[in-house]
Structure formats: structure tokens, C-alpha cells
Structure 1
């Protein structure tokens, strides 16, 4: 009787929470899909866990997003997939090449990348740090057909089971061929030129052996470009040999990737501004960011000063490119009934480049009459294209950089070893774990940032050359200087390596009604290497014009130090009944600041971290404290409920958490926009605090299914002595997906993703928005599926506040702004044959 009453009360409370959170999102129309309802809360958690508990009985916030859900959504970038995961806050507008800002649970991104979020493939990070400059972790991770599901752990559970992940882990878990089968699929853009082939196949090949292989090949223009800028291939394979006694297995894994995809660098728009409120955003004439981009057929290559500083070399401007080859091995074995050993190893050879035209608007009249390279500018003329040589008369020009950063080496070697023992203590089952994680991450890059001038157009913008009144050309191919666009900070050349060594311990008590756990991780990161930045300016002859070029030949900065710190977490779970659990968790986690610490006066002449006393005294080459900002610490607290049950003939599940956190972040930023208009970069040191809530729910009634998630965060940044709303982070993001099966032949899907308003650094507030996607899939015969998918069905111009800033005032309340909008209305045809 008491159990029945307690179960009913818990179920009704969970339903009420789900309805309260999901109702406002659903009222504004569905949002993007989230994780599938199956297998639901009984699924065993393998990410940041002991691999022996279900989602329902784990005292952490964990979500799985299966391959079918992602296939229905058809995200246009890697980071947009993460909008399917509660707690993850990513605009998803950076494009298929990557370079996204991925925040989590109100932990914003002060500059770029994913400082608190680690991306893993089969339990190991793709790169150690999520915010490597010009090397964010989403460059090197691509969802493909080999992935069975994404699994994400947020909060304290991620803190001690992985290094450099105090906010969240997103793990790409591979299919291993347990069941024979696969598919071959073709995705073809119907209103844009792009084709993608996906495939996978796996099967047992003997009593104890199985394999799986899968991947994709993509080629085309993409929805925003007028020439072929995407050309990517990725293949992943694994081979599993189980031991005859059924106690474990050995698995070999391999990955090959050669990718080239654009990252979207922004578009202009028109808007109204009243005070700090921006509204009525409309497309800019001749450059609609929903369907156009800054890449150009007239700017596919450019001249860049070589690494040695001895010659100009013509290199591609082709977005983000990666070359990857990795091999790995996993070992799992159970010794008797009590002890288990797991080892996960991977070696990776990674290189690539970041090459793109950035966007910034300025008035043409501001350039006319200015002095450039010793001459007074009298006119701007097209440097290429059908109007080459003609005078440019547009109101605005794009005076941002043509950049190419060569990623010579981002390779790594990693190993994660864990030993666990399980014992029955009578009152509870006790599990103790001990392990050691070691990873060496290389970062070798050289930066080339050219001063550039081009027309403002979304239709293959041409570079613009500057001329004097006498007709003397002051630039070549629209470039007025080499390596010097952002000042001496950003002509860089460095080779760094970071070795992260982390022993960890955990203890878990699992009783009939309660579970308790605690774990600690002892981090040590050893940094070595060094590099140079801008020093001497020389003159080079480029196309008959003498132009300045900044060499990376300053006094070499040496890096030779180590930093140790400790992360911990503790949690408790109450098993209210077979369908309900309530958990609490507290944690403190650290993340190491890697290459963003360099060239900031934070190291002594011998490479040690500068102390604050040395910085104040300006001794040993120190101008800034290096010890304090070398590690960012995050304190997190959460309480959550997980529940499932029946509603009439239907089923539901709900997960809801209340969150609180505080943390600090110190990082280098090279954008003048975020540095108060100052060129040459700046150090951003700030403290943050955040409260919020996280929701995930599923509902199914016969042929109808619904999945939803929402994240609310009140994230604040310390500004002087007071806290203000954190920049570039919406208070609310939400996702909903619905599907309806008509018999066995047809499936209809409706999905949408939305968010609330966003504030930028100067305090301007941009409106939120919602985009709607739809799908229809038809299965005319067995094994064959034909589909039509619409992305941004209503062609919403939604900037999501991602990097937006007011570029120019054109009237009393009219402004021109720049930002990166969501891709506009696009249609995709699909054909899939399963076998």
C-alpha cells in the first residue's frame, strides 16, 4: 500500500515537472530531436562511469542520442547535433568544418572552442584540450554511419572519469557488429549542389569474432557556396575477439579521415536598435547569410609568407582541412567474480589547416583618403572576376583577414587503464576502482594573417585593390600586408607538447534503496616546447608591389613547467521505486589552460610559470601571473529526478535536474571585437556563476513518439565588482522532435530547435528564434527507404546571437550588424538500402 502510494506520487510529480517544462517549448512549435526513447533508462552507461549501472540508477545526468534520431534531424554542422543533448549550449551555426563554441550548463565560452566539454571517440578524447587555438575539438570529430550512439555525461560525473572535462563529455560510441547487417545511403541536395554517401556493415565472423566498418564520403558546394568547397572522406573500422570463457574481449580500432569543409565566418544584416535592444533583423542587400557565404571562386587561393619568412607561397583558402590516421586497442577482462581490468589505447597522427576569409564591415569612405603602405588611397578597384580593374562603388567593404593557419601536428598518444573490484559488504555492494590515464598532446602550428580588403557580397566576393590618385597600386590581390592583420601577437610559430598524467580512485556503495559514490582524480600536466611571434617587419615584392610582412622572429618563448591539481566528486542516489530515482551531486573539477597561456608574459626566461610576485616585480621576463590562470576550476552542484511510467496506453520517461555552478576562466583572445577594439589580442580573466535547470523527456503512444529537452541557465559574469548577464549564452535552449508512423510504409517527422535572446560583450541584446525541420520517409519495398527532408522549413533568419555585433549605424535606430545565421531553407533527398 505504502509503496503503491509512493510510486504514484513520484510518477505524478515527474509528469507535472515534464509538462511544466515542455509546455512553453511545445507551444512555440517543436524543436530539434533529442535522444530516442529506446532502450531508455535501462541502458547501461559506458561514458564516465564504471560501466555497470543503468541510466536510471546512475547518480549523474546522462543522455544517449541514437543514430536514428540524428538521421531524422539531419544537422548541418557537428555542433548542431549537440543541441539534441540537454545541458549542451551550442549555436550550431559554424558550418560543417567546425570551429564552434560549445558551452555547457551555463559555463560560457569566454573566447572560442569547448573549454569545459570533451569530445571522445570510444572513450578517449580526440584531442586533449577542447579549445586549442585554430584547432578546436570539433575539427577532428565527425559523426558518421559507424556511430551507434552519442552518450553525454554532464556535471560532476565527467570531472573525475576524464581529464580536461569538468563540464561534460560527449562520447561517440561505435557499432561493433554484434548483429549482422548494415546499410548504404545517398543524401543529395535538391536545391544545392552536394552529395554524401554513408555506409556501414558489421557481422560476426566466427563464434567469438566480429567486425564493423563504416564511414562517409561527401563532395559539393554546400548550401552557402558557389563552388566546390567540401570534399571529405572518413572510414572507421573495428575488430573484436571475445575470449572463449566469455570473460572479456580484445578490440582493435582504426580511423582514416581526410576532410575539407567550410566554416561559416559571418554575414551582414540590417536591424533596428533601441538602446541595447536589437530587433527586426532582415537580410543585407546582396548578401543573405541564409544562402550565401564569404568564400569565393575568386579567392580560392592566396599568397602567404612561408614559415621561414623567405618567400611568398600560394596556398588554398578552403576552410578547415584535417588529415587523420589513428589506431587503437581495447582490452576488457573479468578475473573471477570480483575483479575487472579495462585498458583503452589510441595513437593518432593528426594535421590540417584553417584557411578562411573572415568578415568585418567598414564604410568605403573610411578607407578613401587613408594612408596605406605610404600612399593615400583614392579608389578601390576589383582585383579579380569579371569586373577586374573597375572602380568599386559599394557603400561597405570587408576589411577583415584572409587567414591560413597550418596545423603541422595535433597528434597524440593516450592510454586509460582501470582496475575495479566488487565485493558484497552485506548492507551494500561495494565497488572500488583505481586507474591511470596518460595522454601526450602535440600542438605545432604557424599562423599567417593577411590584411585584406574585399567587396561585401554573398555572390563570390572579389578582393579589392587600393590605388592612389596617380594610379599607383598599393596592394596585390586585395592584400595590403602579410602576417600583420592583428599586430605582433598573431604572426606565430610554435611547437608544444602537453603530457597529462592522472591517477584516479573511486568508491561506490550500492544498496537496496540507496547508492553512494565518490571519486578523486589527481592531475599533472607537463608542458614543454616553445615558439616565437611577430618581431621584424620586412618588405616583400608581391605582384610588382612592395608590401610589409611581419616575421615570426621575436625572442623565443620557452615553455617548460608542470602543474598539479585535484578534481573530486561525490553523489548519492535514492531508489524511490523501480521507476524513479532521485540523486544529488557535488564536484570540483579543473581544466588546464594549454596553448592559450602562451605569449602572454606568463613564463620565465627558463619556461617556468611566473608567480604573481614575479609579475609585480617584472623579473625573469614575467609580466603576468602564470600560476593562477594555468588551471580553471569549476564548482558544481545538482539535484535531479529520473522517472518513467505509463500514461494510458502510452509510455513516458523524464529526467530533470536543478543546477548551480561557479568558476573562473583565463584565456587569450585574438579578436579585436572581444578585446574592446584593441588589435593584438588580449587576456580575458573573469569569474562566473550560474544557476539553472536541465530537462529531458520522451513520450510514445502507439505510432506517435515525442522527444524533448530544454536547458535553462542564469549565467552571470563578474564585471568589475558586480555580476552581469554572461555574453553569447541564451537563457533557454530547447529541442522537440515528433514522429508518426503510418503503417509500416510511411513516417512523418516534425522537429524544431530554438532559444531565447543573447547578449554580446558591449551589452546589445539579440532576439531568440526557432527553426522547424520536417521529414517524410517512405518504404515502398522491404529494405528500401526513400526520404525528403527540409531544414529550416520556413526560412527563418535566425542569428542565434552567435558572434553578432553592431557594425555600423545607418540611421536613428537602423544598424548594420554581422553574425553567423542558421542555414536557410534547404531540401535534401535520401535513398537508403538496408541489408
Structure 2
């Protein structure tokens, strides 16, 4: 009851503030002259008059589109200085992500209170210029935030939530996040050198574009990055480069064009898997969270010079040494766009992209465990009697700390995630007396390869943030049970997770959209018929055998056990209907209902859902597609306020979905290794808010997402609070011109409480940032950005409880990076 009262009060406060923000400008407008309003109109057009190109009818502005859409430009992102790719998404209402996984990716990206039951982005698709980078957002060890990088080539990031996201593309019933390139419409560019102050990180961003002739535009941009990162690892973990280019040739009518695009990327970035912390624990609530002595997750990580490379047993059964390289990607993408406007208001659009892509996930996972839980336990057929440092300055000495890290060193070799995608649409507009009626039909095709082999070593290491050493275990006779901290090859999570697979998924989808538009209202509906064909093979782990390393027998598992051969097809339908009412040119109301589906890809393998003939059994058919039902109603408004202008959006939401998926982590499976099937229903109500305001030299933009998300587990009749979803998540950013050539700004990002999968509640927190830019001349600019200005220990990502018997207790989780200062110099031309 108390929780419900708090949530109701929070909703009322949000709606009351929204009403004030929307109504106050109505009063202020009455005293303004028509000339002033006209001048401000030209300014505010920069906001809601942006043409929406993602998940929407072509040619509509934001205020005319009956969808929840947000556009975040490159300047806003630069000022916010996100610490990871996913933290950019916190600037989009409705997207709920901790943003603490680091620049490599591997974030869990939720949307509108629809939790991530296992990992990745099951309901969110990341696109580049309107096409998916990968078909599935939650591929095991291959989440969609690995493969896209924000750089100088990007003009803006556009986010569409709900509704048409499920019918204008595949596998995205929750949201589409589209990175839209700069195409050279404005002549010029820049080179920017950024350097960490107090941490080792160097980056060069560059872009240039313009007209090659009266009918040809071009643009090229990218970045190079190198360093140890803000959480000093002792060795280079950031070694990345990306370049993107495009060339656009306009035809004689000046609106039709053909465009060619290319991207080359070779990236290596760290994936931060958490840090220990101290916390008071009372009634399943953590409070007074602070850094663990010797391991401050704001400044340190589990990366170490004593664990910067390690042995694995590869898929051929040979010992191989791999680098602790975090998340690496290699990609070459070649794309083409064709836009032709024919007579009789017929338009053809075709987008195609071929991508060769591969990578790896190599990271030191972290879990704080008591040392006493290892001493006396059975490891490799013997009782552990002693633990000693395996390397580092204390090599050979007894390890006497109360806690250690008993989680895996994991190396996943992502051999192939290449794809080919093509999206063809033809639209026709009919004009009637009171408006226009448009018909848009299309056909989507995408083939997605997923080939990988997993190597999850059972590993022990020191719980420290200062280059932690590996730990070796010994029996009571002094016999070594481990080899440089490794107690097992490929067997940390059991035979489920010594995997080797080579899969192919082909997604075809015809779709149809109808739209009727008048000066007063619009009504639209769209439907999409998905068919996904699955093929390929997968192996689980087989019987263990010993590999001798330095005279020590280490149990080893290879992916030569049960085989699954895939040969099945699944079809399903997504739909949406919506409408928008134009109260006037500055105010619109919209509503929408939708049902969108997403196919469960590689997360369904090695989970008992494939028959011997390659077809899906009953459990597989039930789990093949997850459907999301969503209902929303929203208000969009812009106007003048005092001597400035504002834009404001609020969307009220309700949604639900049912998910059946395979989970490999013991944390999500009640502490049992070997994987489990998670069956649950979820529902959520909430609101999204986005507002911008400008008064002369001051500007501000903010967003908030409120969610009351609940979960119903299989076999239960009681709805409980969904884990990983804060009731409220928000960002706010403001800038002010102190001088004509000096702008300063501040921002805040925060969230209310959230719980983990065990029901433990983590406190609310917020972090502040600051930025300044000084323009010395028209071509030269100096900048300073500060992330986490107050150095707040903000534990956003939920973790695990190491020992509830002591207070303060030790927990593990994912804190935000601490105070990080970056200076930059930009040369414009």
C-alpha cells in the first residue's frame, strides 16, 4: 500500500509539473507582439519541425507524427559526454538503461517498463540510416550496442518508441534507435582532438562534407581512439577506429537521388562487469552504499596487468592464449539508397546494405564471494585447504582477505555476425477534397549469420581494483588444484555453455501502411507479416577431460556434446493503429494501440526446444515469439514563454508482454549453474516527458520516464515489482552563454530506486556533469567536459549480495564511472 501511495504521488507530481509547463506559456503569449512571435517561431521550428525519418510516414514533422519520437543532435550528446554508447540512450524518453557497462557495450536496454528478462535489447533495434545493424538486439555475447559507435559522422540520433516501431521494421516492438548520418548538406567540417585529464585516453574526431557539384553531395567522418580508459587498467584497452562515408547524386528533379554509403570499423573497448561495494542491509534494502576498501568502482575495474591475457582451450581442443581485449569488432559495410519520386505522386525507396562483421567478447566477470566459501569446498576432486597468490608482487603468499572474486574469465569468439538487408517501399498519395490519403507498401529482407564459440573458464582472483592478482587453490598436501587461477576450461556454467554454433536466420516481411491526413487530424494504420527461417547447427558441451597445464590437471569441456540442427520457420503478425488531432499549429494530441512481435533467435538453442528433425517442439513453439501490447496517448506542444520559446511532450503509457527464454547465468537461475528457462509475464503503466526551453542566451532540455513495472513468474499468482526498472529515470541539461564566445553548461542524470532479481532494493541516485566551450576565433574552439562532477558513487546496475550475515555487507554491482575530465580543441573549416 505504501509503495502504491508513493507511486501515485509521483505520477501526480509529474502530471502537475507537466500541466504547469504546458499552460504557463499560454499566459505569457498574450503580451507578445506578432513580430516577436514570428521571430520565435523561426527558432522553435528547429525543434518540432524536424522531419521524422524513423518508423514514421515520410515527410512528417515531429509535431505532426502520431508517434512518440525524439531527436537528439550531436551537440547535445557532446555536452552530455556519455560514458558509454548506451548512456546516449538515457537522453531519449522511454529508454531505460543503466549506462554503466562501458564504451564496449553489453548493456541491458529496456523500454517503457518492459524489462530485460535475460540480457541485451530484446525489444529495441539499433539502426544506422534506417537499416538494422544486426537483426536481433539480444544475441548472446553480441548485443546490438557492440556494433554501432557515435562519432562525428552522425548528425543526430532519433528514437521512436512503440506503435510503428513494430510495423515499420522487424524485431523492434519496443523502440527503434536510429543513428542518422550527416550527408553533406552544409559545406564544412572539423577536426577535434580530445584528451583525458587525469586519465589516459586520446581521441581524434573528424568530418568533412559538402557539394562536389550542383547535383552531388558527399560526407566523410569518423574517429580514432586510444588509451587505458577512465578506469585505469594498466594496459591499453581502448584501440578503436571507424570511418564512414557517403556520396549522394541527385537526379534532374532535384528530389530523387541515389546514395552510396560505406563504413569500416575496427574497435576494441572495455566492458566493465562491476565492482564490489559496502552497504547497510535491512529488510531487503541497501543503503549507505560506498566503495569497497581497495576497489573503488568509480576509478578501478577488474582489469589487471596480471590478467591481461590467459589460456583457453579453443574449439579445436588446443591450448591458446588470448588477450583480455574487452569487446572487439571488425566490420565492413557497403550500402545503397535509392529515392525516386515519379509522376502521379508515386515514390519508391530502396535501402540495401551488405555487412561483413565479426568480433570477440573477452572480459573478467566479477562476483564478490567470501573466501570461506571456497576454503573447505570441493574443487577438482579435492578439498581446498589453502589459497595463494598465483602472480603479482605477492606471488606464493597466502591469500588472507575475507572476500575474493570467483567469477569467470570469458572469451567468446564471434566468428561471423555478417548480414545482408534490403528494404523496398512504394508509396502513392491520393488527394481528396478534405485532405490526402496515402498507401505505403513494402518488403523487408534480412539474412543474419550468428557463428560463435564460447570459452568460460572457471577462475579465481583477488578482489581488488589495483591490478588484482590471480589466485591458486591447494589441497591439504600442498598439491596445486589450479593453473594461474584457472580451475576449469570452458566449464564455468556447465555443459550448457561450452558452446559452438553456426546459425543463419532469414527474416522476410511484407508490410502495408495506410494514412489519412487533413488540416485537422490524421489517422493511420499499418500491419506487418513476419516470417523467420532458421537453419544451422549448435553443439553443447560434452564430457570433461583433463588438460595438463604446468603439471596440473585442469578439467576441460569441449563443445562436442549434444548437437542441434535447426530447420524451422515461424510466422507472425504485428499491427498498429493511431491518430493525431491538431488543436492548432502548435498543439497536437495523439493516441495509438499496437501489438508487436519479436522472434527469439540464438537464445533458444541448447535449451531443449529443438526436435531431432530440426523443427520446434511445443516448448519451442511457445517461446518462439514474444508479443508486446502497447497503448498510449500523448500531447505535443510548442510556444512562446516570456522572451523565449519551448517545446513539450508527454505520453501516457500502458503495456504488457509475455516472455519465455533461456538464461545461462546462475544469478538469474536461483544460483544453479547450467542454465534455466525463464517464463514470465510483465505489465507496465507510466509516462514519458520531454521538454525544451530557450530564453535568450539560456537553453535547457530534459526528459523523464516513469514506470510502474510488474512481473508475474510462472506458477505464481502474485504480481511483483519488476527487477532492473527504476520507477523514474531522468536527464536534464542546460547551457548559458556567459559571453558571445563562451558557453557553459551543466547536466544531471538520475533514477529512483530499483531492485535486483532477488528483490533487493538499491537506493536512488543522480550524477552531475558540466561543460564549457570557448571560441577563440571562428575556426578555433576549446572545450572542457566533466562527467560525474561530484564523484558520486552511483550504483545504477544491480548486482548480488555476497554475505547477508554481516553489516555492512559486501555486494557487487555496476557503479557509474567517477569524476572524469576531458579537454578538447576543435578546428573548424
Give the TM bin, normalised by the shorter chain.
over 0.9
Residues in 1 aligned to 2:215 and 2:433: alpha-carbon distance in whole angstroms: 36
For 1:661-680, list aligned pairs within 5 A.
661-680=655-674
Task: Give the secondary-structure state (helix, strand or coil) at the position aligned to 2:668.
Answer: helix
Residues in 1 aligned to 2:319 and 2:702: alpha-carbon distance in whole angstroms: 53
Residues in 2 aligned to 1:487 and 1:689: alpha-carbon distance in whole angstroms: 33
Task: Give the secondary-structure state (helix, strand or coil) at the position aligned to 2:167.
Answer: helix
Please state if 1:432 is matched with 2:439.
Answer: yes
Q: Which runs of 5+ in 1 are unaligned?
A: 1-12, 24-35, 612-624
Residues in 2 aligned to 1:164 and 1:202: alpha-carbon distance in whole angstroms: 33
Give the 3 Å change call, closer, same or farther, for CA 198–77 of structure 1 in structure 2.
Answer: same
Could you say which residue in structure 1 is the equivalent of 2:770?
Answer: 774
Q: Which runs of 5+ in 2 are unaligned?
A: 1-13, 25-42
Task: Give the secondary-structure state (helix, strand or coil) at the position aligned to 1:680.
Answer: coil
Residues in 2 aligned to 1:364 and 1:655: alpha-carbon distance in whole angstroms: 52
Please state if 1:710 is matched with 2:717.
Answer: no
Could you say which residue in structure 1 is the equivalent of 2:39?
Answer: none
Could you say which residue in structure 1 is the equivalent of 2:747?
Answer: 751
Match of 2:803 among 791, 808, 814: 808
Match of 1:792 among 788, 795, 800: 788
Please state if 1:273 is matched with 2:273.
Answer: no
Could you say which residue in structure 1 is the equivalent of 2:205?
Answer: 198
Alignment check: 8 A CA contact 2:541 2:562 kept: no
For 1:337-736, list aligned pairs within 5 A.
337-611=344-618, 625-719=619-713, 720-736=716-732
Could you say which residue in structure 1 is the equivalent of 2:11?
Answer: none
Match of 2:240 among 228, 232, 236: 232
Instruction: Give CA deviations for 1:22-57 in whole Å, capped at 9, x if unaligned.
Output: 99xxxxxxxxxxxx9762111111001222111111
Task: Give the secondary-structure state (helix, strand or coil) at the position aligned to 2:100.
Answer: coil
Residues in 2 aligned to 1:693 and 1:283: alpha-carbon distance in whole angstroms: 34
Residues in 1 aligned to 2:469 and 2:680: alpha-carbon distance in whole angstroms: 40
Give the 3 Å change call, closer, same or farther, for CA 102–553 of structure 1 in structure 2.
Answer: same
Q: CA deviation at 1:315?
A: 0.9
Could you say which residue in structure 2 is the equivalent of 1:617?
Answer: none
Residues in 1 aligned to 2:518 and 2:216: alpha-carbon distance in whole angstroms: 36
Task: Give the secondary-structure state (helix, strand or coil) at the position aligned to 1:673.
Answer: coil
Match of 2:296 among 270, 284, 288: 288
Give the 3 Å change call, closer, same or farther, for CA 726–16 of structure 1 in structure 2.
Answer: closer
Alignment check: 8 A CA contact 1:21 1:695 kept: no
Q: CA deviation at 1:19?
A: 4.2
Task: Give the secondary-structure state (helix, strand or coil) at the position aligned to 1:113.
Answer: coil
Residues in 1 aligned to 2:44 and 2:160: alpha-carbon distance in whole angstroms: 17
Instruction: Give CA deviations for 1:350-383 in whole Å, capped at 9, x if unaligned.
Output: 1000001111122222222223223332221211
Task: Give the secondary-structure state (helix, strand or coil) at the position aligned to 1:244.
Answer: coil
Alignment check: 8 A CA contact 1:153 1:169 kept: yes
Alignment check: 8 A CA contact 1:356 1:402 kept: yes
Please state if 1:303 is matched with 2:311.
Answer: yes
Residues in 2 aligned to 1:774 and 1:517: alpha-carbon distance in whole angstroms: 42
Residues in 1 aligned to 2:521 and 2:739: alpha-carbon distance in whole angstroms: 44
Could you say which residue in structure 2 is the equivalent of 1:614?
Answer: none
Residues in 1 aligned to 2:591 and 2:770: alpha-carbon distance in whole angstroms: 38
Superposition CA RMSD, Å: 1.5
Task: Give the secondary-structure state (helix, strand or coil) at the position aligned to 2:795.
Answer: coil
Give the 3 Å change call, closer, same or farther, for CA 810–19 of structure 1 in structure 2.
Answer: farther
Task: Give the secondary-structure state (helix, strand or coil) at the position aligned to 1:280.
Answer: strand
Instruction: Give CA deviations for 1:63-102 in whole Å, capped at 9, x if unaligned.
Output: 1000000011111100000010011101100000000000
Could you say which residue in structure 2 is the equivalent of 1:28?
Answer: none
Q: CA deviation at 1:391?
A: 1.8
Give the 3 Å change call, closer, same or farther, for CA 21–167 of structure 1 in structure 2.
Answer: farther
Residues in 2 aligned to 1:22 and 1:796: alpha-carbon distance in whole angstroms: 36
Could you say which residue in structure 2 is the equivalent of 1:622?
Answer: none
Please state if 1:739 is matched with 2:739.
Answer: no
Could you say which residue in structure 2 is the equivalent of 1:764?
Answer: 760
Task: Give the secondary-structure state (helix, strand or coil) at the position aligned to 1:487.
Answer: coil
Could you say which residue in structure 1 is the equivalent of 2:225?
Answer: 218
Residues in 1 aligned to 2:573 and 2:20: alpha-carbon distance in whole angstroms: 40
Give the 3 Å change call, closer, same or farther, for CA 576–15 of structure 1 in structure 2.
Answer: farther
- Structure 1 residues 52-61 or 375-384, which shifts more? 375-384
Query: TM-score scaled to structure 1, two decimals?
Result: 0.94
Q: CA deviation at 1:16?
A: 5.8
Q: CA deviation at 1:15?
A: 9.7
Task: Give the secondary-structure state (helix, strand or coil) at the position aligned to 2:218.
Answer: strand
Instruction: Give CA deviations for 1:153-206 in whole Å, capped at 9, x if unaligned.
Output: 111021100100000000000000111100100110001011111000001001
Residues in 1 aligned to 2:637 and 2:392: alpha-carbon distance in whole angstroms: 62
Task: Give the secondary-structure state (helix, strand or coil) at the position aligned to 2:611.
Answer: coil
Q: Structure 1 stretches (4+) deviating beyond 3 angstroms? A: 13-16, 18-23
Match of 1:112 among 119, 131, 139: 119
Residues in 2 aligned to 1:14 and 1:690: alpha-carbon distance in whole angstroms: 17
Match of 1:146 among 153, 174, 190: 153
